[in-house]
Structure 1
Amino acid sequence: MTATSRPRPRRLPLALALAMALPAAHAQQAQPGHDHQPKDLAAVEVKATPFADTAEDLARPVEVLAGERLDEAKANSLGETVNRLPGVQSSYFGPGVGRPIVRGMDGARVQVLSDGLGSGDVSTVSVDHAVSIEPFLADQIEVLKGPSTLLYGSGAIGGAVNVIDGRIPEAVTDQPLQGRAELRGNTVNDERTGMFRLDATAASGNLVFHVDGLHRETGDYDIPGYAESAAHLAEEGETPDPASKGTLPNSFVRTDAGALGVSWVGERGFLGLSASLFDTRYGVPGHEHAHGDGHDHDHDHEGEPGEEQDAGHEEEGGVHIGLDQRRYELRGGLDDVGPFKSLRAKFAHTDYTHTEYEGDGAVGTVFDNASNEARFELVHQPLLGWEGALGLQWAERDFEAVGDEAFVPPSQSRDAGLFWIGRRGFGPVGVELGARVDRNKIDVDDAVAVGPDRDFDTASLSAALKWDVSDALHLSFGLDRAQRSPTAEELYSSGLHVATASVEIGDPDLDVETANRAEIGLHWHGGPFRLGLALYQTRFDDFIYLADTGIEEHDGPVRVWTQDKARFTGAEAEFEWAFADNASGAWNLRLFGDVVRGELDGSGTRTLDVSVPHGDHSHDYTVELARDGNLPRIAPWRAGGEVRWELGSWRASLGAVRYARQDRVAQFESETPGYTLVDAHLAWHQDTAAGNAWEVFLDGSNLLDEEARPHTSFLRDVAPLPGRGVAFGVRMFF
């Protein structure tokens, strides 16, 4: 059955009706005193570690988004949502796909977590695969910068992003029934989004329920000029069609997400379960196989939402993707268990299907992924002055890709890890130590294997120190030795990767990569000022990366997975100044900047033999790769600032970020021009006598309508970021 023949229910009207009805239904029983005050993000408790610490207390670098700051930052993708945190940027493969990049590292080096467990998707397999977590349903997002293998294993050697959604309640609610809802639209893509969440405690006081839901529809988005960059048009010798100016074809998104959860909560612990779904369909810009009269650019949404849009995109020849994930979780916690302060156990089973549709609606390739993951944490009582936590993590993944464009063979992965992390105070100095060992096994399907099964053993060590020089000045130091096992994609890829219009060749002989990191940080706050600085360097042995060979096959470049020594060096800074608080309102200035360089750390060149599949035979090449120079797709330096204002029920902000020209490029890679993105936010918040609250908002993005092409994107020459847009809507808290 093709995508056009599948009936689509009218989910959006149902979501909007629910969102509007919930506050009214609750107004009769809500109690006064609704609290929606701005949150001090430095004081928010971080859930990604076993200890109940805030971002400011931790010796490791952590960024947190919550409250109003999270509301303003929420976007279609997780990467775009966290994109303006220091040291964090986003990949980009159209508006439906954006994965976090932490200090220059992404993909299989940055673990994406749903409250401490892996997301269960295959977003590390290919850059066109979306993360299966909906940012609009998040309560809090935490970014652990630097190696997080100690807590989360091999896939977190570059960091971790933990999304807290509260789908399994761990405590009774403050009121018998509480929640929030939001309706929004956007001028840049004709967005229509409705979401809601409800949390309720039964009369018995022990059963707590959760439900949430979201529906989003967007059309093709507006851009300042043409989809293709001037450099790309010149290289191809093409003249753009004037009728194609102003809209990025095949950039639509439609998403449905929701969950049900229930927990039994007692005095010493809880036990709960949840079921959730994430279903999204999105176009892949730059992958149109156009036929007919061309694209329609008028954002016309008349008729059945979704159904006509799918049909329209298929008529236009747009390659698009359908992603469906079903997830089931069981979690429990118990406090004061003999010699242990607490026990936490988590288990998740995920069924994931990712279908790539060709321009005529026919199925091209189907990716199936079934995964299980379990995690146990025991926080023990102080032992010889050390407070610590023991942890056990186990995961398995059964992956299969079927279709003519399946460039990765079926495989089964098994991972098991054991860790301990401990901390102790010595006067004004706090010390944290940790160690972890992992066993990773990858079995590849013998029928299509391009290499043998592989086993890996990895070990990671970590030490961090936080020195409270005074009440206002804090210094932190970190040393890590972390290891990562190669993934099945890096080992066994062999064939045309349509998403990147390239041929990817894996290396089944890849070894474990080892990272040694050193970091120094400073945090100072005094009166109206707050300053944070960080300097770091990570040196890799056997760093695994995707290198261009300079060879062209199947009308695209040939890239090989290979490894060599590498070095990442970077710095981050953030400054805040509450410079006025008077009759005109409370005013705050925030400035931030970050820079990272990713370089190969060898010398000379090395020779590789490359065999490219070509039907029933192969083409063999010998290539020379440089052992020094820049790594590909490293984000450029940037600097930004914003002014925030609050007065009574009103708040507003105006900000800008300058992304520099990236001219430190890898072998066979082209430079990317810089650009400046200006944004603004305006909101009016009103508490009601019934204890509810309403908030009306306007959010402007890319207000200068600049042509912006992120260097981290494989699509930068054919898919710029959206042009000027204004999001508007209403939020309800009850």
Structure 2
Amino acid sequence: MPRNLRPAPLALAVLLALPAFAFAQAEPPEADDHDHAHEATRTLETLEVTASPLRGSIEDLARPVDVLSGEALDARKAGTLGETLERQAGVQSSYFGAGVGRPILRGQDGARVQVLSSGTSAMDVSTVSADHAVGIEPFLADQIEVLKGPATLLYGSGAIGGAVNVVDGRVPTAQVGRTVSGRAEIRHGSVDDQSTGMARVDADAGVLTLHADLFRRDAGDYRIPGYAFSPGLVAGELAEGEDPEHFARGRLPNSELTTEGGALGASWFGERSWFGMAASTYRSNYGIPPGAHAHGDEEEAPEGDAHEGEEEDVVRIDLRQDRFEARGGVREVGLFEEVNWRVTRSLYEHTELEGDAIGTRFDNDGLEARVEAVQRERNGWRGAFGLQFGHRDFSAVGDEAFVPPSVTRDLGVFALQEKDFGDFKLEFGARHDRVRTDPEGSAPTASVGATSLAAGGLWRFSEAVHLGVNLNRAERAPTAEELFSDGPHVATQSYELGDASLDKEVALSGELGLHLHHGRFDGSVSVFRTQFTDFIYLADTGGEIDALPARAWVQGDATFSGWEAELGVELADNASGLWHLRLFADAVDAKLDDGGHLPRIAPGRVGADLDWSLGAWRARVGVVRVSEQDEVAVMETPTEGYTLVDAGVAYHWDVGGAGWEAFLEGRNLGDQEARAHTSYLKDFAPLPGRNVMAGLRVAF
């Protein structure tokens, strides 16, 4: 998509033009929007989880799953997937400046959390380095599904810590049911002068269903409450005689970004079969805040320096990903209720620009194919069988190419079974993967088999209370980065050393969850524990190479344990409106069994959201308190706690068959200095300050 193509004005045109066409095609709604919104609030638990081939509702699954959709998704949409999900219990964001934010599930991230686009791997290089963005646009999501705990049964060893599935409908899986439908949105934010626009249209044309979408986001350097440096770094610089006037303050340098993309898709639907295809593109150009790409040979400046006016070239990422998807299915095939398949090809290119020069270029040519067969129910047993193949041709070229080129192939086979025994439901699953990584050069080929087993139970001992139990044994094959790294990795400010002899990780995990649904109350509480054998992590060696701290990928036993809780209460539904209160809290602890904590583990949090609606109006106010994190790894510094307050108000009106909504949202309204402990940049890049966003959206 050309850089001069601007979907924000196009989205405005869609806001004004497409609904007018829809009016002539659609029947008037049967109920007003307040009725629809109220009903959606009461029936959220019936949402279908598409990440599983059995596609059950949240309440029918023993495994812990969250689904963010509807008004709740509209209220939380942000420029990155991690920021969009970070108010969900058990989910935080890695945060590497405004352009990068990968979800962290229960303290685990990177190569242990699989990010999916409608059930297919993102196939980017976001697991290779913390400064690499996920190539998925949250504003296009119909819903986002979060699978907590091991999801290896469904998606292989790269999901040993969980999975996040963004459902975008680019390949239509069902007909719209009307001639045309769609949505569009424009918004502007104050903290970075950001303008965002998106538009989507789905239309039925006989047996064909067509899809089109596009989006664009432009943002400048974002405002911060104080210095870019943390107080500790500021004090250290002042002690060395630095002039505080040289420190970046008020705005975070080199944090501007431009992101754009779009897709075209179509599906054909017959009586017993269907077939669809889509082509999409995602492009992003974003800056890396100073401190992330400090070079070891720059002796004049302290490592991680973020002084204004430095002569060193700023670093920007120019990312492009093109995806081509084909998928389809057939119903009633022999012993199977349905058989579905999908094939995705991804062409990914990621260039790190140092001023006008190309520093390092990453390329990832990926192919993924998957077949799922859902069996007919037999003696009460329901289940599915699947086969998945993946091929990844990865290369990195440049002065900072710390990982050699490699080709990774994986083949996995899996089976799921479940059955109800009165009020008790049993779930079983097994999967085996063979992962082979061939590096370029003299390093030996790594071939690993990974087997995962799971058992779960759901006891509905009353209509109001359900008890879920899950036991998992999961294995993860080492990645090419962990096996073969040998070079300066500027994002982590270290010289990374891989180990080709690394063994696979083995995780034994258990979880106990209690779910409450009674009248005005809806809540859950879970406790979990995962014992890792041969956990792979990056450890300080105490030495230096090329003036950078030397860090090596090593293995050791580790334990993750924690809990999360959420409670929703309908406070009132009367003449004053519908009032709903949501409370949530979570905490996780991660330790090496031989002593010491693991780095960048998310601190505990507690939060509350109060929602109100009356007629055409709705509003909300929320607060989250993030605790300090002083249980830190060797060479890691503690992080202070902070409190964030946000709020929003929206007004809805209908014109013909379209629903319009004007909204005003505020985030970090207290303009607090907040630093994410999960971020490599916590000492150089605080979170954005006060942000007020205004916008208009339409759905038809």
1:514 matched to 2:506? The reply is: yes
1:242, CA displacement in angstroms? 6.8
Match of 1:199 among 202, 209, 218: 202
Q: Could you tell me which of 441, 445, 455 is aligned with 2:440?
A: 445
CA deviations over 1:119-160 (Å, ceiling 9, x no partner):
110100000000000000110100000000001001000000
- Match for residue 274 of structure 2? 270
Tell me the CA shift for residue 289 of structure 1: 8.0
Secondary structure, counterpart of 1:281 in structure 2: strand
Letter in 1 for 2:484: Y
Query: How many residue pairs end up in the alignment?
Result: 677
Out of 99, 102, 116, the position equivalent to 2:102 is 99
Matches within 5 A, 1:498-509: 498-509=490-501
Q: CA shift at 1:685, angstroms?
A: 1.0
Deviations 1:699-731 (A, max 9, x none): 100011001100000000000000000111000
The alignment partner of 1:173 has SS state of: coil
Q: What's the counterpart of residue 716 of structure 1?
A: 682
User: C-alpha distance in 1, partners of 2:137/2:608?
Assistant: 27
Structure 2 Cα separation of the partners of residues 365 and 412 of structure 1: 19
C-alpha displacement at 1:337, in angstroms?
Answer: 1.4
Residues 191-236 of structure 1: CA distance to partner in whole angstroms, max 9, x if unpaired?
111110000011xx20110000001100000000010111012234
Alignment of 1:319-718 (within 5 A): 319-358=315-354, 360-446=355-441, 449=442, 451-602=443-594, 628-688=595-655, 690-718=656-684
Q: Does residue 88 of structure 1 match 2:91?
A: yes
Match of 2:128 in 1: 125
Taking structure 2 as the reference length, the TM-score comes to 0.94
Identity over aligned pairs, percent: 54
CA distance in 2, matches of 1:53, 1:722: 38
Equivalences for 1:71-220 in 2 at 5 Å? 71-202=74-205, 205-220=206-221
Q: Distance in 2 between matches of 1:52 and 1:225?
A: 48
Which residue number in structure 1 is paired with residue 26 of structure 2? Answer: 30
Q: CA 1:575–1:503 in structure 2 vs 1: closer, same or farther (change >3 Å)?
A: same
The Cα of 1:386 is off from its aligned counterpart by 1.5
Structure 1 letter corresponding to 2:457? L
> In structure 1, the residue corresponding to 2:289 is in which secondary structure?
strand
Q: Distance in 2 between matches of 1:243 and 1:559?
A: 29
Please say if 1:283 is aligned against 2:284: no
| Aligned-partner Cα distance in 2 for 1:581–1:350 | 49
Q: Is the 8 A contact 2:388 2:411 kept in 1?
A: yes
54 and 11 in structure 1: CA distance in 2 versus 1, 3 angstrom threshold: closer
Residues 313 and 420 of structure 1, relative CA distance in 2, 3 Å threshold: farther
Q: Which amino acid aligns with 2:19?
A: P
In 1: Cα distance, 2:243 partner to 2:465 partner? 58
CA 1:316–1:34 in 2, change beyond 3 Å: closer, same or farther?
farther
Match for 1:41: what amino acid? Answer: L
Counterpart code for 1:419: F
CA distance, structure 2, for counterparts of residue 142 and residue 240 of structure 1: 45
Query: Partners in 2 of 1:487 and 1:139 — Cα distance?
Result: 31
Per the alignment, in what secondary structure is the counterpart of residue 376 of structure 2? strand
Q: Deviations over 1:646-697 (max 9, x none)?
A: 1011111111111100000001111011111111011111122x11110001
Q: Tell me the CA shift for residue 417 of structure 1.
A: 0.4
Partner of 2:305: none
Partner Cα distance (1:208, 1:125) in 2: 37
| Alpha-carbon distance in 2 for matches of 1:8, 1:503 | 39
SS of 2:448's equivalent in the other structure is strand
Do the aligned partners of 2:369 and 2:390 also contact (CA within 8 Å) in 1? yes
- How many Å separate the matches in 2 of 1:128 and 1:402? 17
- Counterpart CA distance in 2 for 1:34 and 1:724 is 40
CA deviation digits over 1:375-406, x for unaligned, max 9? 10001112343211000010000000011110
CA distance in 1, matches of 2:87, 2:15: 29
* 2:8/2:198 contact within 8 Å kept: no
2:235 is aligned to: 234
Distance 1:493 1:207 in 2: 48
- Aligned partners of 2:527 and 2:563 also within 8 Å: yes
Give, in whole Å, the separation in 1 of the partners of 2:523 and 2:449: 40
- Taking structure 1 as reference, are residues 362 and 242 closer, same or farther at Cα in structure 2, changes over 3 Å only? closer
Q: In structure 1, what is the Cα distance between the partners aligned to 2:179 and 2:380? A: 42
Give distance in 2, aligned partners of 1:555 and 1:24.
63
Q: CA deviation at 1:313?
A: 12
- Report the AA paired with residue 400 of structure 2: E
RMSD, aligned CA: 1.9
- Structure 2: which 5+ runs fail to align? 299-307
Distance in 1 of aligned mates of 2:167 and 2:394: 26
Residues in 2 aligned to 1:570 and 1:228: alpha-carbon distance in whole angstroms: 31
Paired AA for residue 526 in structure 1: H
**1:434 and 1:462 in contact (8 A); partners too:** yes
Q: Distance in 2 between matches of 1:395 and 1:583?
A: 56
What's the CA shift for 1:11? 5.3
Q: Unaligned 5+ residue runs, structure 1?
A: 1-5, 292-311, 603-627
Q: What is the alpha-carbon distance in structure 1 between the residues aligned to residue 87 and residue 309 of structure 2?
A: 32
Give SS of 2:59's match.
Answer: coil
